[in-house]
Amino acid sequence: MLFSRRTRAALARALSYRLSHPQIGNLAYELGVEAPGDTRLECCTNLIKALESPILSIDSNRVILELLHRYVAPLDEASLEYLPEIPGLVAALRLDGYEIQNQKIIPTTPQPAALAPQISALEAALQVRNLAVAARHYSQACDNLTAGNFEAANGQIRSYLENLFITLAHEASGTSFNDAGAALQHMKDRGILDPPLWNTLRGIWAVCQTNGPHHGLSDADEAVFRLHMATAVGRYILICIP
């Protein structure tokens, strides 16, 4: 069980919506930490950060799970979908390999295949390859998803893949492109991508053209799926095109 920093930040936002200043202070006292701040969000963020202090002999992940069970899991499905800050937290939990069902936090599989470590690995790989623009779009996609901005997340996923395909095609062949589809076609024609991989990437690129940054067209399930897909594509294509 390991909760990512994005999930912890999303939990702080959710707690700041659900708890009053006195309740936050009482919770901090209960946990034996300090939670200073002028706003509820600042207090909750400092509370969550304090749990990671090496001075405290506590398992911060266990405490995070307890807070989720206490303040988030009991919410009904309508509240989980529509209360401010909650949808982003639910999406972040899914990236960590957990879902909320029957008012419990449960793993999506017996051994959660969390996406969060893959996110960190891809972000690092993009930086190592000097793919700064793709890395920025990818990071913004992750941040928008965990903030509950699903349309914006989809838009950034599209921008990330577009820049990734165009930049890798230029690096591999020296040819510049303004269109990701043309870049993929060129890499296939030059033998940089084999036909099965090209066909897969072409299909994924086509999927990214629909239900993008248009209000009301995207939901958490779709955005999480797209991020999983885009993460796998990034990890794999960076191996195929060294």
Model confidence pLDDT, tens digit, residues 183-199: 999 999 999 999 999 99
Burial class (CB in 10 A: 0-12, 13-18, 19+), 191: exposed
Q: To the nearest whole number, what is the mean pLDDT of the chain?
A: 87
CA distance 51 to 65: 12
Could you give the 3-state DSSP secondary structure of residue 107? Answer: strand
* Contact predicate 71/19, CB 8 Å: yes
223, 1, 221: which is closest to 107 by C-alpha? Answer: 1
What pTM value is reported for the model?
Answer: 0.67
Q: Pick the residue with more confidence: 129 or 217?
A: 129
Is beta strand 98-101 parallel, antiparallel or unpaired with respect to 104-107?
antiparallel
Radius of gyration of the chain (CA): 20
Domains parsed from the chain with CATH numbers? 5-107 (no CATH), 116-240 (1.20.120)
7 vs 97: CA distance, rounded Å = 11
Q: Helix 116-128 vs helix 86-96: angle between axes, to the nearest 10 degrees?
A: 80
Mind listing the pLDDT tens digit for each residue in 61-111? 899 999 999 999 898 877 777 777 888 898 888 888 888 888 888 877 655
- State the CB neighbour count (10 A cutoff) for residue 211: 17
Which residue, chain included where needed, has tokens 């659900």?
18
> Tokens standing for 143?
């941040």
Distance between CA 112 and CA 106 in Å, rounded?
9
CA 101 to chain centre: 20
pLDDT digits (tens, 9 = 90+) for 215-237: 556 677 788 888 888 988 998 99
